[in-house]
Amino acid sequence: MESVQSIKQRFELIGNDVKLNRAIEKAIQVAPTDISVLVTGESGVGKEAIPKIIHSLSHRKHAKYIAVNCGAIPEGTIDSELFGHEKGAFTGATQTRSGYFEVADGGTIFLDEVGELPLTTQVRLLRVLENGEFLKVGSSQVQKTDVRIVAATNINMFEAIKKEKFREDLYYRLSTVEISIPPLRDRRDDIHLLFRKFASDFGQKYKMPTIRLEESAIELLLKYRWPGNIRQLRNIAEQVSVLEENRTISAATLSSYLPNANSSNLPAVIGQEKKESDFSNEREILYKVLFDMKGDLNDLKKLTLELLKSNDTSKVQEENETLIRKIYGGEDEKIHEEESLPTEVLHLPEPVVEAPVAVARTNEDRYHFAEEIEEEETLSLQEKEIELIKKSLERNRGKRKAAASELGISERTLYRKIKQYDL
């Protein structure tokens, strides 16, 4: 069995952090087996090195090694990419195509950003992990494959499972052994070593003297939080190597390349913000529309009362007021408070005021007129409610419990409304 140090030299891994060494040790130990491995860690920590180590030390090292970025493949084509398709399976499928699982038979597949896989693809992947079987898109013939799967993700898998974006059974199939790569901020003693390595590489690449950091710049380098981890550190080293004429870099110069270099190094508390942001924007917009609609309807009520009052006799006016009070409740009192406002504010066209139709209406006509306004309000709110329920059910793929939670109502209430509206 190869040592951790020899693996570091072979794959150009730099650092002496205990957590990093432990991750490499686990990769060495698990390599001779065929069990699935899940590599976790933030974006930019170098997760892609672990599956390469595992493949190179396994009995599959002479077979194919294929790395697939699941987040970069469109949802509509990822099944075809992974499992292949038959001719005519979909528009544009002019010939039969072999997928990665067929091509890599006997080898290793690295599924990077596996948390981005669509749920339908997750079901197919679970079948491969359980019995090595898969179906091409558009085919009914079961095919066998012998592939070692190493997956990686930078998301919190338990949160994804809780939100039903990732299958729990697939997670436990993939994470038979889980290898965690520490973020760069937790490898403080390795930061300067990595920067010097990158600076030396870029000096040779661009045929320029290697940059060097002053003590104050080294302190700033170690204090910085490095949200982009090793990828960001490499990027900064390349920028400074190319752009700075003075090859000795001060803290002031280095800080100009570091976003928010003077901000606190404490981790931000974002859990509550994320929780609140889970509610969809569509729901917020719908609430705003409903509140605006309520205001418009109140204005319409006031306008209706003014029209009925405008040309009636005192007796008819009294009947109108009684009718309006019966329909709108307390709204009439609010209207009386605003009667002192000039009539020009209503912007009523003159022909409407002079029309004899308003005077000639019977009590029954006025009742139906007011009833239509109330019915229009009820129907509008009902339509919005139906639309909101439909969108929530579609977004949660028909899962009533999740939809009810998102809508802020009980599952029993949601079921009753589904039956009521025949959804």
Rounded-to-integer distance, Cα 131 and Cα 198, Å: 44
State the pLDDT at residue 265. Answer: 53
Q: Under DSSP, is residue 111 helix (H, G, I), strand (E, B) or coil?
A: strand
Instruction: Quote the radius of gyration of the chain (alpha carbons, Å).
Output: 34
Query: What DSSP designation does 181 have?
Result: P
State the pLDDT at residue 308. Answer: 66
Q: What is the mean pLDDT of each run of 10 residues along the chain (423 residues)?
A: 90 94 96 96 96 96 96 91 92 91 96 95 95 93 96 96 95 96 95 96 95 96 95 96 94 93 55 48 72 76 70 53 54 46 42 43 51 54 81 83 83 81 77
Say which residues have a Cβ less than 8 Å from residue 401's Cβ, sequence separation at least 6. 411
Q: Under DSSP, is residue 45 helix (H, G, I), strand (E, B) or coil?
A: coil
Per-residue exposure over 238-267, b if at least 16 CB sit within 10 Å of its own CB, e if not: bebbeebeeeebebebbbeebeebeeeeee
Please give the helix or strand (H or E) that residue 367 lies within, else none.
helix 363-395
Q: Are the CB atoms for 53 and 179 separated by under 8 Å?
A: no
Rounded-to-integer distance, Cα 394 and Cα 363, Å: 47
State the pLDDT at residue 321. Answer: 59
Q: Which of 152, 163, 155 is nearest to 119 (CA)?
A: 163
The single residue listed with the structure tokens 């982009």 is 228
Please name each of the domains of the chain with its CATH number. 4-182 (3.40.50.300), 188-255 (1.10.8.60), 281-421 (no CATH)
Rounded-to-integer distance, Cα 423 and Cα 418, Å: 5
Say which residues have a Cβ less than 8 Å from residue 414's Cβ, sequence separation at least 6. 389, 400, 403, 404, 407
Please give the helix or strand (H or E) that residue 59 lies within, else none.
none
SS3 content of the chain, % helix, strand, coil (to 5): 60, 10, 35
